[in-house]
């Protein structure tokens, strides 16, 4: 039996309060972000500063295994990988 991966909308409903749910989560192609070396929330440079080089969507999920990181969290969703910056309540969707 395979698990169904939730959508970005379902993830946001689960993790955000109704009054602070982001309405428009920026979406960016991972390939484009890697080519540019940056993204709207500067996730790729931040990950690189921690020694996590992002080359594919799965690399974005590695931050969840870093016990010293409590600011940034990544989630697999049907549309790609959603990343949140906890203190700011900001979200970004990396698409394949």
Closest C-alpha among 70, 79, 75 to residue 16:
75
**For position 92, what pLDDT does the model report?**
97
pLDDT of residue 14 exceeding 60? yes
pTM: 0.90
pLDDT of residue 21 exceeding 70? no
Backbone angles phi, psi at 17, to 5 degrees: -65, 150
Instruction: Determine the Cα–Cα distance for residues 42 and 1; give it in Å rounded to an integer.
Output: 37
pLDDT of residue 3 exceeding 90? no
Contact 60, 69 (CB under 8 A): no
What are the pLDDT digits (tens) for 70-83? 999 999 999 999 99
Would you kindly state where each structural domain of the chain is located, as residue ranges? 8-12+23-95
**For position 61, what pLDDT does the model report?**
97
């Amino acid at each position: 039996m395979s698990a169904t991966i939730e959508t970005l909308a379902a993830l946001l409903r689960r993790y955000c309060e109704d009054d602070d749910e982001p309405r428009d989560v920026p979406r960016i192609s991972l390939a484009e972000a890697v080519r540019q070396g940056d993204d709207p929330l500067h996730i790729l440079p931040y990950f690189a500063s921690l020694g996590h080089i992002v080359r594919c969507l799965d690399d974005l999920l590695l931050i969840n295994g870093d016990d010293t990181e409590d600011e940034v969290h990544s989630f697999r969703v049907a549309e790609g990988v959603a990343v949140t910056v906890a203190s700011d309540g900001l979200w970004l969707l990396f698409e394949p």
